[in-house]
Chains A and B, each alone.
Chain A
Protein backbone atom coordinates (compact mmCIF):
# COMPACT_ATOMS: atom_id res chain seq x y z
CA UNK A 1 0.00 0.00 0.00
CA UNK A 2 2.75 2.41 1.00
CA UNK A 3 4.76 1.72 -2.15
CA UNK A 4 1.70 2.45 -4.33
CA UNK A 5 1.24 5.80 -2.56
CA UNK A 6 4.93 6.62 -3.03
CA UNK A 7 5.10 5.53 -6.65
CA UNK A 8 1.70 6.65 -7.88
CA UNK A 9 -0.02 9.29 -5.78
CA UNK A 10 2.88 11.42 -4.56
CA UNK A 11 4.24 12.14 -8.10
CA UNK A 12 0.68 12.90 -9.27
CA UNK A 13 0.09 15.34 -6.41
CA UNK A 14 3.46 17.06 -7.02
CA UNK A 15 2.80 17.44 -10.75
CA UNK A 16 -0.81 18.56 -10.19
CA UNK A 17 0.04 21.23 -7.59
CA UNK A 18 3.12 22.59 -9.38
CA UNK A 19 1.34 22.59 -12.75
CA UNK A 20 -1.61 24.43 -11.19
CA UNK A 21 0.66 27.22 -9.86
CA UNK A 22 2.55 27.53 -13.16
CA UNK A 23 -0.53 27.62 -15.37
CA UNK A 24 -2.43 30.13 -13.25
CA UNK A 25 0.57 32.44 -12.89
CA UNK A 26 0.06 33.44 -16.56
CA UNK A 27 -3.54 34.69 -16.58
CA UNK A 28 -3.76 35.68 -12.87
CA UNK A 29 -1.51 38.48 -11.71
CA UNK A 30 -1.51 37.27 -8.08
CA UNK A 31 1.78 37.52 -6.21
CA UNK A 32 1.72 34.05 -4.69
CA UNK A 33 1.24 32.49 -8.13
CA UNK A 34 3.89 34.57 -9.93
CA UNK A 35 6.43 34.17 -7.09
CA UNK A 36 5.92 30.42 -6.93
CA UNK A 37 6.11 30.11 -10.69
CA UNK A 38 9.37 32.13 -10.82
CA UNK A 39 10.85 29.99 -8.05
CA UNK A 40 9.82 26.83 -9.90
CA UNK A 41 11.58 28.19 -13.00
CA UNK A 42 14.83 28.38 -11.01
CA UNK A 43 14.29 24.77 -9.96
CA UNK A 44 13.86 23.82 -13.62
CA UNK A 45 17.31 25.28 -14.29
CA UNK A 46 18.76 23.16 -11.48
CA UNK A 47 16.97 20.04 -12.71
CA UNK A 48 18.12 20.70 -16.29
CA UNK A 49 21.73 21.01 -15.07
CA UNK A 50 21.28 17.75 -13.17
CA UNK A 51 19.84 16.17 -16.33
CA UNK A 52 23.00 17.18 -18.22
CA UNK A 53 25.00 15.22 -15.63
CA UNK A 54 22.74 12.20 -16.07
CA UNK A 55 23.20 12.57 -19.83
CA UNK A 56 26.97 12.30 -19.40
CA UNK A 57 26.60 9.14 -17.28
CA UNK A 58 24.23 7.71 -19.88
CA UNK A 59 26.74 8.50 -22.62
CA UNK A 60 29.41 6.55 -20.74
CA UNK A 61 27.05 3.60 -20.31
CA UNK A 62 25.92 3.57 -23.98
CA UNK A 63 29.37 4.10 -25.49
CA UNK A 64 31.29 2.21 -22.82
CA UNK A 65 29.44 -0.97 -23.78
CA UNK A 66 30.94 -1.33 -27.34
CA UNK A 67 34.41 -0.56 -25.96
CA UNK A 68 34.14 -3.22 -23.24
CA UNK A 69 32.75 -5.73 -25.75
CA UNK A 70 35.39 -4.73 -28.33
CA UNK A 71 32.71 -4.36 -30.96
CA UNK A 72 34.85 -3.96 -34.13
CA UNK A 73 32.39 -1.69 -35.92
CA UNK A 74 31.54 0.64 -33.07
CA UNK A 75 34.34 0.81 -30.53
CA UNK A 76 36.67 3.28 -32.35
CA UNK A 77 33.85 5.83 -32.68
CA UNK A 78 32.70 5.32 -29.10
CA UNK A 79 36.28 5.65 -27.86
CA UNK A 80 36.79 8.86 -29.88
CA UNK A 81 33.57 10.29 -28.48
CA UNK A 82 34.38 9.47 -24.85
CA UNK A 83 37.98 10.63 -25.21
CA UNK A 84 36.82 13.98 -26.62
CA UNK A 85 34.33 14.29 -23.80
CA UNK A 86 37.00 13.64 -21.19
CA UNK A 87 39.46 16.11 -22.79
CA UNK A 88 36.87 18.90 -23.01
CA UNK A 89 35.72 18.15 -19.46
CA UNK A 90 39.26 18.24 -18.06
CA UNK A 91 40.13 21.47 -19.88
CA UNK A 92 36.89 22.99 -18.63
CA UNK A 93 37.71 21.99 -15.04
CA UNK A 94 41.39 23.03 -15.11
CA UNK A 95 41.10 26.18 -17.24
CA UNK A 96 37.38 26.98 -16.70
CA UNK A 97 34.95 27.32 -19.61
CA UNK A 98 36.03 30.92 -20.14
CA UNK A 99 39.78 30.26 -20.14
CA UNK A 100 42.05 30.59 -23.20
CA UNK A 101 42.53 26.83 -23.68
CA UNK A 102 38.82 26.15 -23.70
CA UNK A 103 38.25 29.10 -26.05
CA UNK A 104 41.00 27.82 -28.35
CA UNK A 105 39.43 24.34 -28.32
CA UNK A 106 36.05 25.79 -29.22
CA UNK A 107 37.32 28.20 -31.89
CA UNK A 108 39.63 25.76 -33.66
CA UNK A 109 37.89 22.40 -33.28
CA UNK A 110 34.25 22.66 -32.21
CA UNK A 111 33.36 25.89 -34.05
CA UNK A 112 35.24 24.84 -37.19
CA UNK A 113 33.68 21.37 -37.04
CA UNK A 114 30.15 22.77 -36.75
CA UNK A 115 30.79 25.07 -39.69
CA UNK A 116 32.18 22.20 -41.75
CA UNK A 117 29.10 20.10 -41.07
CA UNK A 118 26.85 23.00 -42.09
CA UNK A 119 28.83 23.46 -45.32
CA UNK A 120 28.69 19.73 -46.08
CA UNK A 121 24.96 19.73 -45.51
CA UNK A 122 24.75 22.46 -48.18
CA UNK A 123 26.36 20.12 -50.70
CA UNK A 124 24.00 17.25 -49.88
CA UNK A 125 20.96 19.50 -50.01
CA UNK A 126 22.05 20.93 -53.34
CA UNK A 127 22.46 17.40 -54.68
CA UNK A 128 19.15 16.20 -53.23
CA UNK A 129 17.20 19.17 -54.61
CA UNK A 130 18.70 18.63 -58.06
CA UNK A 131 18.39 14.87 -58.29
CA UNK A 132 15.36 13.92 -56.20
CA UNK A 133 12.99 16.89 -56.18
CA UNK A 134 10.61 15.85 -58.95
CA UNK A 135 7.02 16.84 -59.52
CA UNK A 136 5.63 13.30 -59.72
CA UNK A 137 2.01 14.34 -59.13
CA UNK A 138 -0.12 17.46 -58.68
CA UNK A 139 0.83 17.92 -55.00
CA UNK A 140 4.50 17.50 -55.86
CA UNK A 141 4.12 20.05 -58.65
CA UNK A 142 2.56 22.63 -56.33
CA UNK A 143 5.34 22.03 -53.80
CA UNK A 144 8.01 22.38 -56.49
CA UNK A 145 6.51 25.62 -57.75
CA UNK A 146 6.29 27.05 -54.22
CA UNK A 147 9.94 26.09 -53.60
CA UNK A 148 11.06 27.71 -56.82
CA UNK A 149 9.19 30.92 -56.02
CA UNK A 150 10.65 31.13 -52.51
CA UNK A 151 14.15 30.48 -53.86
CA UNK A 152 13.75 33.08 -56.59
CA UNK A 153 12.57 35.54 -53.93
CA UNK A 154 15.98 35.16 -52.27
CA UNK A 155 17.81 36.23 -55.44
CA UNK A 156 17.42 39.94 -56.25
CA UNK A 157 18.02 39.46 -60.01
CA UNK A 158 14.53 37.97 -60.34
CA UNK A 159 13.04 41.11 -58.73
CA UNK A 160 14.35 43.11 -61.71
CA UNK A 161 12.92 41.18 -64.63
CA UNK A 162 10.07 39.34 -62.86
CA UNK A 163 8.63 41.84 -60.34
CA UNK A 164 5.22 40.13 -60.42
CA UNK A 165 6.84 36.90 -59.28
CA UNK A 166 8.33 38.71 -56.31
CA UNK A 167 4.96 40.24 -55.40
CA UNK A 168 3.23 36.89 -55.79
CA UNK A 169 5.79 35.16 -53.53
CA UNK A 170 5.38 37.90 -50.93
CA UNK A 171 1.60 37.40 -51.04
CA UNK A 172 2.05 33.62 -50.86
CA UNK A 173 4.19 33.89 -47.73
CA UNK A 174 2.00 36.55 -46.12
CA UNK A 175 -1.46 35.11 -46.78
CA UNK A 176 -1.89 31.37 -47.53
CA UNK A 177 1.27 30.37 -45.75
CA UNK A 178 0.46 32.37 -42.62
CA UNK A 179 -3.08 30.98 -42.68
CA UNK A 180 -1.82 27.40 -42.72
CA UNK A 181 0.81 28.11 -40.04
CA UNK A 182 -1.81 29.69 -37.81
CA UNK A 183 -4.11 26.72 -38.29
CA UNK A 184 -1.37 24.30 -37.29
CA UNK A 185 -0.38 26.47 -34.32
CA UNK A 186 -3.98 26.54 -33.05
CA UNK A 187 -4.37 22.78 -33.42
CA UNK A 188 -1.06 22.20 -31.63
CA UNK A 189 -2.09 24.63 -28.87
CA UNK A 190 -5.43 22.90 -28.29
CA UNK A 191 -3.78 19.47 -28.33
CA UNK A 192 -1.17 20.60 -25.80
CA UNK A 193 -3.86 22.04 -23.51
CA UNK A 194 -5.76 18.75 -23.56
CA UNK A 195 -2.57 16.79 -22.91
CA UNK A 196 -1.61 19.09 -20.04
CA UNK A 197 -5.09 18.78 -18.49
CA UNK A 198 -4.95 14.99 -18.73
CA UNK A 199 -1.49 14.89 -17.15
CA UNK A 200 -2.28 17.33 -14.35
CA UNK A 201 -5.56 15.67 -13.49
CA UNK A 202 -3.98 12.21 -13.41
CA UNK A 203 -6.02 10.90 -16.36
CA UNK A 204 -2.80 10.30 -18.29
CA UNK A 205 -0.11 8.56 -16.28
CA UNK A 206 2.09 7.47 -19.18
CA UNK A 207 4.72 10.07 -18.20
CA UNK A 208 5.42 7.96 -15.08
CA UNK A 209 6.57 5.21 -17.38
CA UNK A 210 4.16 2.56 -16.16
CA UNK A 211 0.52 1.78 -15.60
CA UNK A 212 -0.49 0.81 -12.05
Chain B
Protein backbone atom coordinates (compact mmCIF):
# COMPACT_ATOMS: atom_id res chain seq x y z
CA UNK B 1 0.00 0.00 0.00
CA UNK B 2 2.79 2.45 0.84
CA UNK B 3 4.27 1.89 -2.66
CA UNK B 4 0.99 3.02 -4.23
CA UNK B 5 0.61 5.98 -1.91
CA UNK B 6 4.18 7.15 -2.42
CA UNK B 7 4.33 6.21 -6.09
CA UNK B 8 7.51 7.57 -7.66
CA UNK B 9 7.52 10.23 -10.33
CA UNK B 10 9.76 8.10 -12.54
CA UNK B 11 7.24 5.25 -12.45
CA UNK B 12 4.38 7.61 -13.34
CA UNK B 13 6.36 9.09 -16.24
CA UNK B 14 7.27 5.60 -17.50
CA UNK B 15 3.61 4.53 -17.41
CA UNK B 16 2.60 7.67 -19.30
CA UNK B 17 5.26 7.14 -21.97
CA UNK B 18 4.08 3.56 -22.54
CA UNK B 19 0.38 4.47 -22.80
CA UNK B 20 1.13 7.35 -25.17
CA UNK B 21 3.61 5.55 -27.42
CA UNK B 22 1.86 2.17 -27.85
CA UNK B 23 -1.35 3.52 -29.47
CA UNK B 24 0.77 5.75 -31.69
CA UNK B 25 2.78 2.76 -32.93
CA UNK B 26 -0.20 0.41 -33.16
CA UNK B 27 -3.26 2.62 -33.82
CA UNK B 28 -6.71 1.18 -33.13
CA UNK B 29 -10.14 2.71 -33.74
CA UNK B 30 -12.23 3.90 -30.81
CA UNK B 31 -15.97 4.41 -31.23
CA UNK B 32 -17.03 7.78 -29.84
CA UNK B 33 -20.75 8.59 -29.59
CA UNK B 34 -21.58 12.03 -30.97
CA UNK B 35 -22.73 14.47 -28.30
CA UNK B 36 -25.29 17.26 -28.63
CA UNK B 37 -22.81 20.17 -28.53
CA UNK B 38 -20.78 18.80 -31.48
CA UNK B 39 -23.96 17.94 -33.40
CA UNK B 40 -25.28 21.49 -32.94
CA UNK B 41 -21.92 22.88 -34.06
CA UNK B 42 -22.10 20.78 -37.23
CA UNK B 43 -25.74 21.67 -37.91
CA UNK B 44 -25.19 25.42 -37.52
CA UNK B 45 -22.41 25.40 -40.13
CA UNK B 46 -24.44 23.06 -42.34
CA UNK B 47 -27.31 25.56 -42.28
CA UNK B 48 -25.16 28.41 -43.66
CA UNK B 49 -26.06 29.75 -47.09
CA UNK B 50 -23.25 29.92 -49.66
CA UNK B 51 -21.21 33.16 -49.29
CA UNK B 52 -22.25 33.58 -45.65
CA UNK B 53 -19.70 35.67 -43.79
CA UNK B 54 -17.94 34.01 -40.85
CA UNK B 55 -15.82 36.00 -38.40
CA UNK B 56 -13.39 33.46 -36.96
CA UNK B 57 -11.58 34.47 -33.75
CA UNK B 58 -8.83 31.92 -33.86
CA UNK B 59 -6.21 31.37 -31.16
CA UNK B 60 -4.15 28.36 -32.18
CA UNK B 61 -0.38 28.53 -31.71
CA UNK B 62 0.71 24.90 -32.00
CA UNK B 63 -0.19 21.80 -33.97
CA UNK B 64 -1.73 20.26 -30.86
CA UNK B 65 -4.42 17.59 -30.66
CA UNK B 66 -7.25 19.85 -29.49
CA UNK B 67 -7.50 23.34 -30.97
CA UNK B 68 -5.59 22.65 -34.16
CA UNK B 69 -7.76 19.76 -35.42
CA UNK B 70 -10.83 21.76 -34.39
CA UNK B 71 -9.61 24.57 -36.63
CA UNK B 72 -8.83 22.33 -39.61
CA UNK B 73 -12.10 20.37 -39.40
CA UNK B 74 -14.16 23.56 -39.02
CA UNK B 75 -12.45 25.16 -42.00
CA UNK B 76 -13.07 22.04 -44.10
CA UNK B 77 -16.80 22.23 -43.42
CA UNK B 78 -16.86 26.00 -43.96
CA UNK B 79 -15.11 25.44 -47.29
CA UNK B 80 -17.72 22.88 -48.28
CA UNK B 81 -20.44 25.38 -47.39
CA UNK B 82 -18.65 28.02 -49.52
CA UNK B 83 -18.54 30.42 -46.58
CA UNK B 84 -16.43 33.58 -46.64
CA UNK B 85 -14.05 33.57 -43.66
CA UNK B 86 -12.39 36.49 -41.88
CA UNK B 87 -9.65 35.42 -39.44
CA UNK B 88 -8.87 37.56 -36.37
CA UNK B 89 -6.13 36.83 -33.78
CA UNK B 90 -5.70 38.20 -30.26
CA UNK B 91 -2.24 36.65 -29.93
CA UNK B 92 0.78 37.14 -32.17
CA UNK B 93 1.61 33.42 -32.28
CA UNK B 94 -1.94 32.58 -33.42
CA UNK B 95 -1.38 34.31 -36.74
CA UNK B 96 1.00 31.51 -37.76
CA UNK B 97 -1.37 28.82 -36.43
CA UNK B 98 -4.08 30.33 -38.62
CA UNK B 99 -1.91 29.92 -41.72
CA UNK B 100 -1.17 26.26 -40.88
CA UNK B 101 -4.89 25.61 -40.43
CA UNK B 102 -6.13 27.11 -43.66
CA UNK B 103 -3.27 25.58 -45.62
CA UNK B 104 -4.16 22.11 -44.26
CA UNK B 105 -7.85 22.69 -44.94
CA UNK B 106 -7.10 23.45 -48.59
CA UNK B 107 -7.81 27.18 -48.56
CA UNK B 108 -4.90 27.94 -50.87
CA UNK B 109 -7.14 26.72 -53.72
CA UNK B 110 -9.55 29.56 -52.91
CA UNK B 111 -9.18 33.23 -53.73
CA UNK B 112 -7.53 35.31 -51.01
CA UNK B 113 -9.39 38.53 -50.28
CA UNK B 114 -12.57 37.18 -51.85
CA UNK B 115 -13.16 33.82 -50.11
CA UNK B 116 -11.04 34.37 -47.02
CA UNK B 117 -8.83 36.98 -45.42
CA UNK B 118 -6.27 36.66 -42.64
CA UNK B 119 -6.27 39.88 -40.63
CA UNK B 120 -3.59 38.53 -38.30
CA UNK B 121 -2.63 39.75 -34.85
CA UNK B 122 -4.59 42.76 -33.63
CA UNK B 123 -3.04 44.42 -30.55
CA UNK B 124 -5.17 45.95 -27.82
CA UNK B 125 -7.13 42.85 -26.85
CA UNK B 126 -10.80 43.41 -25.92
CA UNK B 127 -10.78 47.20 -26.31
CA UNK B 128 -9.74 46.90 -29.95
CA UNK B 129 -12.23 44.10 -30.63
CA UNK B 130 -15.08 46.29 -29.42
CA UNK B 131 -14.10 48.92 -32.00
CA UNK B 132 -13.19 46.47 -34.74
CA UNK B 133 -16.72 45.09 -34.99
CA UNK B 134 -18.05 48.62 -35.57
CA UNK B 135 -15.50 49.59 -38.22
CA UNK B 136 -13.47 46.64 -39.50
CA UNK B 137 -11.40 48.35 -42.17
CA UNK B 138 -10.90 51.48 -40.09
CA UNK B 139 -9.45 49.54 -37.18
CA UNK B 140 -7.50 47.03 -39.31
CA UNK B 141 -6.44 48.86 -42.48
CA UNK B 142 -3.93 46.13 -43.45
CA UNK B 143 -4.12 42.34 -43.20
CA UNK B 144 -1.49 39.93 -41.85
CA UNK B 145 0.45 40.21 -45.11
CA UNK B 146 0.34 44.02 -45.07
CA UNK B 147 -2.18 44.15 -47.97
CA UNK B 148 -4.62 47.06 -47.67
CA UNK B 149 -8.02 45.78 -46.57
CA UNK B 150 -9.92 48.72 -48.09
CA UNK B 151 -9.50 47.37 -51.62
CA UNK B 152 -10.31 43.74 -50.83
CA UNK B 153 -13.55 42.38 -52.34
CA UNK B 154 -14.69 41.00 -48.94
CA UNK B 155 -14.61 44.42 -47.33
CA UNK B 156 -16.66 46.01 -50.09
CA UNK B 157 -19.74 44.43 -48.48
CA UNK B 158 -18.52 43.59 -44.97
CA UNK B 159 -18.10 46.77 -42.95
CA UNK B 160 -19.38 46.03 -39.47
CA UNK B 161 -20.56 43.11 -37.36
CA UNK B 162 -24.03 43.58 -38.87
CA UNK B 163 -22.69 42.16 -42.15
CA UNK B 164 -21.43 38.98 -40.43
CA UNK B 165 -23.60 35.84 -40.30
CA UNK B 166 -21.64 33.69 -37.87
CA UNK B 167 -19.00 34.31 -35.19
CA UNK B 168 -16.70 31.50 -34.06
CA UNK B 169 -14.75 31.92 -30.83
CA UNK B 170 -11.88 29.48 -30.64
CA UNK B 171 -8.83 28.92 -28.45
CA UNK B 172 -7.85 28.14 -24.92
CA UNK B 173 -6.94 31.43 -23.27
CA UNK B 174 -7.88 34.97 -22.34
CA UNK B 175 -8.78 36.98 -24.34
CA UNK B 176 -10.59 34.36 -26.38
CA UNK B 177 -14.08 32.87 -26.69
CA UNK B 178 -15.15 34.64 -23.50
CA UNK B 179 -14.34 38.00 -25.12
CA UNK B 180 -16.20 37.12 -28.33
CA UNK B 181 -19.28 36.21 -26.29
CA UNK B 182 -19.21 39.34 -24.10
CA UNK B 183 -18.32 41.93 -26.73
CA UNK B 184 -19.72 40.59 -29.98
CA UNK B 185 -22.23 37.72 -29.80
CA UNK B 186 -24.37 38.95 -26.88
CA UNK B 187 -24.47 42.71 -27.64
CA UNK B 188 -25.09 42.27 -31.38
CA UNK B 189 -27.23 39.13 -31.06
CA UNK B 190 -25.10 37.12 -33.48
CA UNK B 191 -25.07 33.41 -34.17
CA UNK B 192 -22.08 31.99 -32.28
CA UNK B 193 -20.07 28.78 -32.18
CA UNK B 194 -17.38 27.74 -29.76
CA UNK B 195 -14.25 25.57 -30.02
CA UNK B 196 -12.13 25.29 -26.87
CA UNK B 197 -9.72 23.03 -25.05
CA UNK B 198 -11.12 20.57 -22.50
CA UNK B 199 -9.40 22.59 -19.77
CA UNK B 200 -11.22 25.77 -20.74
CA UNK B 201 -14.52 24.11 -21.54
CA UNK B 202 -15.64 24.21 -17.91
CA UNK B 203 -15.64 28.04 -18.05
CA UNK B 204 -17.91 27.99 -21.09
CA UNK B 205 -20.90 25.96 -19.85
CA UNK B 206 -22.67 29.13 -18.77
CA UNK B 207 -22.60 30.50 -22.33
CA UNK B 208 -23.77 27.16 -23.71
CA UNK B 209 -26.62 26.95 -21.23
CA UNK B 210 -27.72 30.51 -22.04
CA UNK B 211 -27.62 29.70 -25.76
CA UNK B 212 -25.01 32.34 -26.50
CA UNK B 213 -22.99 29.69 -28.29
CA UNK B 214 -25.34 27.45 -30.26
CA UNK B 215 -22.85 24.60 -30.58
CA UNK B 216 -19.43 23.70 -29.30
CA UNK B 217 -16.38 21.52 -29.75
CA UNK B 218 -15.21 20.83 -26.21
CA UNK B 219 -11.69 19.47 -26.10
CA UNK B 220 -10.29 16.67 -28.18
CA UNK B 221 -13.33 14.45 -27.63
CA UNK B 222 -15.61 17.14 -29.08
CA UNK B 223 -13.36 17.35 -32.10
CA UNK B 224 -13.39 13.57 -32.59
CA UNK B 225 -17.20 13.71 -32.57
CA UNK B 226 -17.15 16.52 -35.10
CA UNK B 227 -14.66 14.74 -37.37
CA UNK B 228 -17.06 11.76 -37.32
CA UNK B 229 -19.90 14.05 -38.42
CA UNK B 230 -17.99 15.64 -41.29
CA UNK B 231 -16.70 12.20 -42.30
CA UNK B 232 -13.02 13.10 -42.18
CA UNK B 233 -10.92 11.39 -39.53
CA UNK B 234 -8.33 14.05 -38.79
CA UNK B 235 -5.63 14.63 -36.24
CA UNK B 236 -7.99 14.51 -33.24
CA UNK B 237 -9.28 11.04 -34.17
CA UNK B 238 -5.79 9.76 -34.95
CA UNK B 239 -4.44 10.97 -31.61
CA UNK B 240 -7.45 10.12 -29.47
CA UNK B 241 -6.29 6.67 -28.29
CA UNK B 242 -3.34 7.99 -26.18
CA UNK B 243 -5.62 10.52 -24.49
CA UNK B 244 -8.28 7.87 -23.94
CA UNK B 245 -5.86 5.44 -22.34
CA UNK B 246 -4.13 8.16 -20.33
CA UNK B 247 -7.48 9.19 -18.82
CA UNK B 248 -8.35 5.61 -17.86
CA UNK B 249 -4.92 5.00 -16.29
CA UNK B 250 -4.97 8.36 -14.51
CA UNK B 251 -8.43 7.70 -13.07
CA UNK B 252 -7.22 4.28 -11.89
CA UNK B 253 -4.07 5.70 -10.31
CA UNK B 254 -5.94 8.54 -8.60
CA UNK B 255 -8.43 6.11 -7.09
CA UNK B 256 -5.64 3.70 -6.05
CA UNK B 257 -3.48 6.38 -4.38
CA UNK B 258 -6.48 7.74 -2.50
CA UNK B 259 -7.56 4.27 -1.34
CA UNK B 260 -4.00 3.67 -0.09
CA UNK B 261 -4.07 7.06 1.66
CA UNK B 262 -7.39 6.33 3.39
CA UNK B 263 -6.19 2.83 4.35
CA UNK B 264 -3.13 4.31 6.07
CA UNK B 265 -5.34 6.89 7.82
CA UNK B 266 -7.67 4.16 9.09
CA UNK B 267 -4.64 2.28 10.46
CA UNK B 268 -3.50 5.41 12.29
CA UNK B 269 -6.96 6.17 13.61
CA UNK B 270 -7.53 9.14 11.28
CA UNK B 271 -4.29 11.04 12.01
CA UNK B 272 -2.47 12.39 8.93
Contacts and interface: CB of A to CB of B under 8 A. Distances in A.
Bound together: yes
Interface of A: 26, 34, 37-42, 44-45, 47-49, 51-52, 96-98, 103, 106-107, 110-111, 114-115, 118, 122-123, 126-127, 129-131, 133-136, 144, 147-148, 150-152, 154-157, 159, 173-174, 177-178, 181-182, 185
Contacts of B97: 111
A155 B247 contact: yes
23 contacts: A39-B131, A41-B130, A41-B139, A44-B128, A48-B124, A96-B146, A98-B145, A111-B97, A114-B61, A115-B63, A118-B64, A130-B253, A131-B12, A144-B258, A148-B255, A151-B247, A151-B250, A156-B30, A156-B32, A156-B221, A181-B205, A182-B206, A185-B206
A111 B64 CA distance: 10
A133 B250 CA distance: 11
B39 to A, nearest CB: 14
B257 A130 contact: yes
A97 B248 CA distance: 43
Secondary structure call for the A interface: helix
A126 B250 CA distance: 7
A41 B97 CA distance: 25
B261 A134 contact: yes
B219 A154 contact: yes
Nearest to B125: A48
B18 to A, nearest CB: 12
A119 to B, nearest CB: 9
Contacts of A34: 134
Given A38-B135, A127-B13, A106 B187 contact: no
Contact of B272 (A42, A136, A147): A136
B254 A37 contact: no
B16 interface: yes
Given A41-B132, A45-B122, A96-B146, A111 B62 contact: yes
Contacts of B123: 45, 48-49, 51-52
A41 B62 CA distance: 29
Q: Which 7 A-B pairs have the closest CB atoms?
A: A41-B131, A48-B123, A48-B124, A44-B127, A44-B124, A45-B124, A115-B62
Given A45-B139, A157-B248, A174-B205, 14 more contacts: A38-B134, A38-B135, A39-B131, A40-B127, A41-B130, A44-B131, A52-B123, A118-B64, A123-B16, A127-B13, A131-B12, A147-B254, A157-B244, A178-B205
Nearest to A182: B206
B257 A134 contact: yes
A123 B13 contact: yes
B248 A41 contact: no
B7 A131 contact: yes
A111 B12 contact: no
Nearest to A116: B62
Interface string B251-272: 1011101100110000000001
Contact of B96 (A41, A106, A174, A177): A106
Given A44-B131, A118-B64, A151-B250, A126 B16 contact: yes
B138 interface: yes
B111 interface: no
B240 to A, nearest CB: 10
Contact of B63 (A98, A111, A151): A111
Contacts of B258: 133-135, 144
A129 B262 CA distance: 16
